[in-house]
Chain A
Amino acid sequence: MPLQLPAVKLAGIAPEIALSATALVLLLLHAFLRRDGWYLPLLATFGLGLAMRLAIGAGDPPASHFAGAIASDGFASFCKVAIATFGLLTVWLARSTVIRRGLEEAEFYALVLFATAGMMLMAAAADLIVMFLALEMFSIALYVLVGFRAESPASQESSMKYFLLGAFSSAFFLLGIALVYGATGSTTLGPGGQDNIIEALNAAPAGGASLLVLGTAMLIVGLGFKVAAVPFHMWTPDAYQGAASAVTGFMAAGSKFAGFAAMLRLLDGTLFSIRWDWRPLVVGIAVATMVVGSVLAVVQENVKRMLAYSSIAHAGFVLTGIVAANDRGVAGTLFYLTVYGLTVLGAFAVVAILAGPDDSRVRLVDYRGLFAANPLLAGALTLFLLSLAGVPLTSGFVGKLVVFAAAVESGYVWLIAVGAVASAVAAFFYLRVLVVMYMQEPDGDVVRARPDPLASGVVALTAAATLVLGIFWGPLIRAAENATFFAGV
């Protein structure tokens, strides 16, 4: 049987190529020049900007490349632009808060670029093998980034934990691929390509059902680790606490985005016809995630851990959009992930600025009297926290509204009622931070933080986005609605 090679069109993965190339150039340049300087962040910025430019409009008209393994559609395009934005903000924030401490600047940016490329690929992956490749690509970069503060035992410990549990979850994912392949005879999701899972399901709706459901469950477990859904969330608080704050923000924004993008394409896009099989599982995970994340966050005394549990709770809210499995749900999930990413990056930017040179001032008590000492930073953090809590006029409220609306449309009113109660519990710990910042007097001296212009810029940008997207959210939700794959199929 003659081997048929698929047509190779690199245009489908141009942004990823741009990022990887920039990362390599960055490493090589640094190796030869042997000195740090402004050229490094500039180059990283250029690479991310280029990737973003290449991603914009790339999915019009939708196409699939590499024998259906890579999708080039509005969905991938939307995700890539958002993920590149997160990468950009991370680079800028890292320049002023992480790099200052004498860490390897070039390597740091290169890792951020590789991770970004992996996350982008995740959003474009239309084949389970490619999805696994992308998952590993950004995960490995993140393992290193989490442990990047080599001098800090906490950082190393969290990196190790993250790595071990991540590897564990990868095994689940692989097993899931094998089972799904066994049930359908394909790893390609479709609808592009020769034979794919969608077609297999259409051809034999009941064929190999139990194998398929088991495989799907394994895939959900694998992705559940990445998005920090309960009960696969155990690594989250430690990794979030141990990593440098800029890296934590990137993890919260980016890896959640990538994991959920894959989940959307897999569950809502490909396995839509067996939704009655996977929905109970995802609903259960969503309820557990919302409740556990919100409740455990209440007792945290460390701001980074608190935000880690908050990110778990948010994963639960996002899952309601995936359960919805309708156009509104896909668009709402994309919207939610975008605004959550921007908000949480902003929050971690403030945390990074306040944490001081050794990233140690992250306890709740360190925030006492923050408003009196740093009114602007406190104001920005207030905005971010209100957005995370879902108070109107912030983007976080709109995000909740759109995913909740999608779930209600699918008839999951009770799930949203659970979400509403969890949100009310969650509000408590955001308010706790506000109480500490505004209403308590500091123990000793309050450090007047003097963020450099770049870090301040990141805070200002994300704060502006949080506010503007809370009021004029029409354009973004329209873009997300145009990016849903149901429309393109």
Chain B
Amino acid sequence: MTGGFPYLDAIIFLPLIGAVLLALVPSRDVRLLRLVALAITVATFVVSLGVLANFDSGEAGFQLGTSAEWIAEWGIGYKTGIDGISLWLVMLTTFLMPLGVLASWSITSRAKTYFIFLLALETGMIGVFSALDLFLFYLFWEVTLVPMYFIIGLWGYERRIYAAMKFFLYTLAGSLLMLVAILFMYFAAPGAPTFDYRDLLGTTLSLDAQRLLFLGFFASFAVKVPLFPVHTWLPDAHTEAPTAGSVMLAAVLLKMGAYGLIRFAIPFFPDAAREFVPLIMVLAIIGIVYGAAVATMQRDLKRLVAYSSVAHLGFVVLGFFVGTVQGMSGGILQMVNHGLSTGALFMLVGALYDRRHSRLIADFGGLGKVVPVLAGVFLLVALSSLGLPGLNGFVGEFLILFGTFLGHRWWVLPAAFGIVLAAVYLLWAYQRVFHGEVTSDENRGLPDLSGREALMLAPVVALIVFIGVYPKPFLERIEPAARVVVRQLNDSCVLPDPGDCQPSAARTAEAP
């Protein structure tokens, strides 16, 4: 970035500085703690609007970043920057964070530690999406683990310790394999060993090396996304985490994995990625159908939403690997959409839990009469999640399916079946919770959405509708970057002998 205010670096470190400030607030004063945390996250969001305003939508490369030496001898630098892929993920993070704080009003024990972890988590997440140095990226990637581990383990529900442990170990096992791959890349770099992302893009690697390294990165990202069959940590972690934890996990942390696939795995190893396309598409489709089918069977609302994430992220990964700009753009947009709708669903389930201290569908019934506003919002969000035209989910899923159709025609069928299942589990759950007569006396006197809850849901609902009606501002910023990755997947070649390259069979179709 040439001159100007370093908006991006500011939003990376603002939450961290806020966490230090928060440490000075007396821990007894929970009200003040909440307000300070809210003020910091809102301030971060406001500054992040500067990022959005200064983002040049015509530019496909990285922008708004800084570059500074850190440990020069080892080729490690503090290098940041965003493109159309990371822009919306950064914005999603800063946008949801204040809402996450609002959703944490019921946290009263050790509130100070909680909010410090939440703010540290925000720094880690924004850092992951902005880092352009692999050392820095790995650092932020791992740093998000610790706060989330504690958030689940300390403030979660009954089986929180088990869930936190599982979350940590699964992710760590994946990321350590990624570390091995990163170290290999470090020495394979053209010129002196370096962790610089842009320098590493020009690395020539044999196909065998690419395969192994791709799998190293893929191990880490597949766990995080999560792809079938390494998704099993997700239902536990999402279900047991406190509301804000679930929101952040679903909305942002999973996206770190998907983001890693298109930021690192495909551009670094396009030849290997091309080879793995069928395998990954199969895993994505299994995720879509399996996630949806299992979600249908859930008795616990939170678990249902958790499994729906497996299905949705399957769509995202499918879009990434079909090799068309539409699929890629749709996948990127769908990451944002999923963040919004699933985030909102977790907030709503959390609101229900706060009232009733249960998440079991069977404990509810007929709530539509008791809490009409909550029911209305729930319906709207559920419809967005299942892809009703006019709401955001439709735009993303349509683009993914359209892109899949262009590249791999028959794969659309099972994927579309997943959408049907989504309608089944969401509407059926909605029906059992909100329709009919009030079945339990305990549910009769439940209060409707409070002012705070309305405040936390209103922005999400507004965006859900906005993206559904007018996705252009989002897509036009995503597309240049998406086009770059699609070209890398289809045509690029980093083999030592370019004659060995096998360009993809899929057409690099032009956007309409």
Query: Are A and B associated in one complex?
Result: yes
Which residues from B are CB-within-8-Å of A408?
180, 183-184, 186-187
Contact residues of A: prevailing secondary structure: helix
Contact A477 B154, CB 8 Å, known A409-B187, A421-B176, A424-B176 = no
Which residues from B are CB-within-8-Å of A481?
73
CA distance in complex: A401, B183 (Å): 8
CA distance in complex: A474, B72 (Å): 8
B86 CB, nearest partner CB in chain A, Å: 20
CA distance in complex: A416, B145 (Å): 22
Q: Residue A446 at the B interface, CB < 8 A?
A: no
A266 CB, nearest partner CB in chain B, Å: 26
Q: Residue B207 at the A interface, CB < 8 A?
A: no
Can you name the residue of chain A whose Cβ is closest to the Cβ of B186? A405
One digit per residue, 1 when the CB lies within 8 angstroms of any chain A CB and 0 when it does not, for chain B 134-157 equals 000011001101100110011000
Which residues from B are CB-within-8-Å of A417?
177, 180
Which residues from A are CB-within-8-Å of B173?
421, 424
CA distance in complex: A428, B186 (Å): 28
Partner-binding segment picked from A142-150, A255-263, A385-393, A455-463: A385-393
Q: Residue A11 at the B interface, CB < 8 A?
A: no
CA distance in complex: A417, B182 (Å): 12
Q: Residue B168 at the A interface, CB < 8 A?
A: yes
B215 CB, nearest partner CB in chain A, Å: 11
* A474 CB contact (under 8 Å) in B73, B149, B176: B73
CA distance in complex: A88, B184 (Å): 39
Q: Which of A376-406 contact B (CB under 8 A)?
A: 386, 391-393, 397, 401, 404-405
* A416 CB contact (under 8 Å) in B73, B143, B172, B180: B180
CA distance in complex: A175, B462 (Å): 79
B159 CB, nearest partner CB in chain A, Å: 12
Q: Residue B68 at the A interface, CB < 8 A?
A: no
Q: Which of B116-172 contact A (CB under 8 A)?
A: 138-139, 142-143, 145-146, 149-150, 153-154, 160-161, 164-165, 168-169, 172
Can you name the residue of chain A whose Cβ is closest to the Cβ of B71? A474
Check if A405 sits within 8 Å of B139, measured CB to CB.
Answer: no
Can you name the residue of chain B whose Cβ is closest to the Cβ of A474? B71
Which residues from A are CB-within-8-Å of B176?
420-421, 423-424
Task: Give 17 A-B pairs besides A420-B177, A439-B153, A477-B71 with Cβ atoms closer than 8 angstroms.
Answer: A391-B145, A391-B146, A404-B180, A405-B186, A413-B212, A416-B180, A417-B177, A420-B179, A421-B177, A423-B176, A424-B172, A431-B165, A435-B165, A439-B161, A474-B70, A477-B74, A481-B73
Q: Which of B74, B169, B184 has the most CB of A within 10 A?
A: B74
One digit per residue, 1 when the CB lies within 8 angstroms of any chain B CB and 0 when it does not, for chain A 460-486 equals 000000000000011001100100000
Q: Which of A228-286 contact B (CB under 8 A)?
A: none
CA distance in complex: A404, B216 (Å): 15
One digit per residue, 1 when the CB lies within 8 angstroms of any chain A CB and 0 when it does not, for chain B 177-214 equals 10110011011000000000000000000000000100
Check if A413 sits within 8 Å of B184, measured CB to CB.
Answer: yes
* B142 CB contact (under 8 Å) in A392, A409, A439, A474: A392
A-B contact pairs, 12 of them (CB 8 A): A392-B138, A392-B142, A405-B186, A408-B187, A420-B179, A423-B176, A427-B169, A427-B172, A439-B153, A439-B154, A474-B70, A474-B72
Q: Residue A46 at the B interface, CB < 8 A?
A: no
Which residues from A are CB-within-8-Å of B70?
474
Once A and B bind, how many residue pairs between them come within 8 Å at the CB atom? 77
One digit per residue, 1 when the CB lies within 8 angstroms of any chain A CB and 0 when it does not, for chain B 424-439 equals 0000000000000000
Check if A416 sits within 8 Å of B142, measured CB to CB.
Answer: no
CA distance in complex: A408, B164 (Å): 32
Which residues from A are CB-within-8-Å of B142?
391-392, 397
Which residues from A are CB-within-8-Å of B186?
405, 408
Q: Residue A438 at the B interface, CB < 8 A?
A: yes
Contact A439 B168, CB 8 Å, known A404-B180, A420-B180 = no
B188 CB, nearest partner CB in chain A, Å: 10
Which residues from B are CB-within-8-Å of A397?
142
Number of B interface residues in the complex (CB < 8 A):
32
Which residues from A are CB-within-8-Å of B145?
391
B312 CB, nearest partner CB in chain A, Å: 28
Check if A424 sits within 8 Å of B187, measured CB to CB.
Answer: no
Check if B177 sits within 8 Å of A428, measured CB to CB.
Answer: no
B14 CB, nearest partner CB in chain A, Å: 18
CA distance in complex: A404, B165 (Å): 25
Which residues from B are CB-within-8-Å of A409?
187
Check if A416 sits within 8 Å of B183, measured CB to CB.
Answer: yes
Which residues from B are CB-within-8-Å of A474?
70-73
One digit per residue, 1 when the CB lies within 8 angstroms of any chain B CB and 0 when it does not, for chain A 162-200 equals 000000000000000000000000000000000000000
Q: Which of A409, A420, A423 has the most CB of B within 10 A?
A: A420
CA distance in complex: A386, B169 (Å): 13
Question: What's the interface size class on A, roughly?
Answer: 20 to 34
Which residues from B are CB-within-8-Å of A478?
73
Which residues from B are CB-within-8-Å of A434?
153
A481 CB, nearest partner CB in chain B, Å: 7
CA distance in complex: A304, B70 (Å): 37
Which residues from A are CB-within-8-Å of B72?
474
B297 CB, nearest partner CB in chain A, Å: 30
CA distance in complex: A404, B149 (Å): 26
Which residues from B are CB-within-8-Å of A401?
179, 183
Check if B180 sits within 8 Å of A435, measured CB to CB.
Answer: no
For the complex of A and B, 8 pairs with smallest distance between CB atoms: A420-B176, A424-B173, A392-B139, A474-B71, A408-B183, A392-B142, A416-B180, A424-B172
Q: Which of B246-269 contact A (CB under 8 A)?
A: none
CA distance in complex: A439, B146 (Å): 14
* A386 CB contact (under 8 Å) in B71, B139, B146, B179: B146
Check if B73 sits within 8 Å of A477, measured CB to CB.
Answer: yes
Contact A438 B73, CB 8 Å, known A424-B169, A428-B169 = no
Check if B160 sits within 8 Å of A439, measured CB to CB.
Answer: yes
Which residues from A are CB-within-8-Å of B165?
428, 431, 435
CA distance in complex: A84, B413 (Å): 70
B183 CB, nearest partner CB in chain A, Å: 4
CA distance in complex: A405, B150 (Å): 30
Which residues from A are CB-within-8-Å of B177?
417, 420-421
Which residues from A are CB-within-8-Å of B153?
434-435, 438-439
Which residues from A are CB-within-8-Å of B74?
477
A402 CB, nearest partner CB in chain B, Å: 8
CA distance in complex: A347, B150 (Å): 20
Check if A438 sits within 8 Å of B150, measured CB to CB.
Answer: yes
Contact A392 B168, CB 8 Å, known A404-B183, A438-B153 = no
A37 CB, nearest partner CB in chain B, Å: 40
A382 CB, nearest partner CB in chain B, Å: 9
Can you name the residue of chain A whose Cβ is closest to the Cβ of B219? A420
A313 CB, nearest partner CB in chain B, Å: 14
A437 CB, nearest partner CB in chain B, Å: 11
One digit per residue, 1 when the CB lies within 8 angstroms of any chain B CB and 0 when it does not, for chain A 432-448 equals 00110011000000000
CA distance in complex: A423, B169 (Å): 10
CA distance in complex: A405, B195 (Å): 12
CA distance in complex: A478, B161 (Å): 41
Which residues from B are CB-within-8-Å of A413?
180, 184, 212
CA distance in complex: A478, B71 (Å): 10
Which residues from A are CB-within-8-Å of B179?
401, 404, 420
Can you name the residue of chain B whose Cβ is closest to the Cβ of A418? B180
B135 CB, nearest partner CB in chain A, Å: 8
Check if B143 sits within 8 Å of A392, measured CB to CB.
Answer: yes
* A393 CB contact (under 8 Å) in B139, B180, B212: B139
Can you name the residue of chain A whose Cβ is closest to the Cβ of B209? A413
B136 CB, nearest partner CB in chain A, Å: 10
Can you name the residue of chain B whose Cβ is closest to the Cβ of A440? B161
B175 CB, nearest partner CB in chain A, Å: 9
CA distance in complex: A393, B16 (Å): 14
Check if A405 sits within 8 Å of B183, measured CB to CB.
Answer: yes
A94 CB, nearest partner CB in chain B, Å: 32
CA distance in complex: A421, B153 (Å): 23
A478 CB, nearest partner CB in chain B, Å: 7
A473 CB, nearest partner CB in chain B, Å: 7
CA distance in complex: A308, B184 (Å): 31
